[in-house]
Copies of this chain bind each other. A is one copy, B any other.
Amino acid sequence: MTSKLNFDKLDYQIINEMMETAEISYADLGKKLFVSGGTIHVRIKKLQTMGIVKGTKLNVDLKAMGYDVIAFIGIYLEKSSLYDAVVKELRKIPEIVRLNYTTGNYSMFAEIMCRDISQLRYVLHDELQKIKGIERTETFISLEESFRRNVVVGD
């Protein structure tokens, strides 16, 4: 059985605020949400203990770092039983930042992040095509990220 989720409005507010920016003091976040800094602290501690909150991550503008090219790859497998073996191989390619096993046309969906088109070409042609079990791939290069945001929890 799945554990009962029992969050109140304050928990959701804290999560939504801090998913956006974690760089706010408990005192200030408390002021914003009309409780004390101590209460914010207790709630975050609870969420950490529950495994809901898993620390913080630096928010880096990878585009500004020169990682300009994002592509999505639809992957057709020869047989779906090859899934585990193919995941293992794909994991070795550092440019692949995300991989999902999906319903629909493709067996899997990968996201690739590269510095330029020639690096993308290398990954697609020299690395992906070598993997046994991949029948073929379809590439969708992102020309623009229209938006990216967090889901709003609790409503």
Q: Which residues of A contact B (CB under 8 A)?
A: 5, 7, 15, 18-23, 50-62, 64-67, 70, 72, 74, 87, 90-91, 94-95, 97-106, 108-109, 113, 138-153
Contact = CB atoms under 8 A, between A and B. Distances in A.
21 contacts: A5-B65, A15-B58, A21-B56, A21-B57, A22-B55, A22-B56, A51-B61, A53-B61, A54-B60, A54-B61, A56-B58, A70-B100, A87-B147, A97-B148, A98-B148, A98-B149, A100-B142, A100-B146, A101-B146, A103-B143, A104-B140
A27 B69 CA distance: 35
Question: Which of A56, A149, A152 neighbours the largest number of chain B CB atoms within 10 Å of its CB?
Answer: A56
Contacts of A21: 55-57
